[in-house]
């Protein structure tokens, strides 16, 4: 899993999510309906973390999000390998991934 922290901004117009890229804006996806209070005709700015990961890891993160109801943290499920999550959840996700790794890591004894 990688996450990008940069000076790009994320903006909502209605329920469409845009990311700034060097002076322009790029459409990245639709806002998940779990956050209806964020959907409005006005422009909203969100602070979050853009995550790139493989499909199984993304499914693990989405399951974590589902288990956290009503404090869900996935803002946008962008495509097969990208998520936009709330900033506070990054440490939580990293801790859960570490737990998963420790549970499934095999080190043979010699």
Query: Tell me: the pLDDT tens digits for 30-60?
Result: 765 555 555 555 555 667 888 889 999 999 9
The pLDDT tens digits for 70-98 are 889 998 888 888 888 888 999 999 999 99
Which residue in 69, 70, 71 sits closest to 89, CA to CA? 71
DSSP single-letter state for residue 100: H
In the chain, the domains with their CATH numbers are 2-104 (3.30.70.1220)
C-alpha 5/C-alpha 85 separation (Å) is 12
Mean pLDDT of 23-32: 68
Query: Torsion-angle region of residue 19: left (phi > 0), alpha (psi -120 to 50) or beta?
Result: beta
pTM above 0.75, yes or no: no
61, pLDDT greater than 90:
yes
């Amino acid at each position: 899993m990688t996450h990008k922290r940069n000076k790009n901004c994320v903006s909502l117009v209605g329920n469409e999510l845009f990311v700034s890229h060097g002076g322009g804006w790029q459409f990245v996806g639709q806002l998940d309906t779990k956050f209806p209070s964020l959907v409005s005709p006005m422009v909203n700015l969100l602070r979050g973390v853009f995550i790139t990961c493989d499909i199984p890891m993304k499914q693990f993160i989405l399951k974590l999000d589902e288990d956290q109801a009503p404090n869900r943290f996935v803002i946008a499920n962008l495509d097969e390998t990208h998520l936009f999550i709330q900033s506070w959840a990054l440490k939580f996700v990293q801790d859960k991934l570490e737990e998963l790794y420790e549970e499934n890591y095999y080190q043979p004894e010699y």
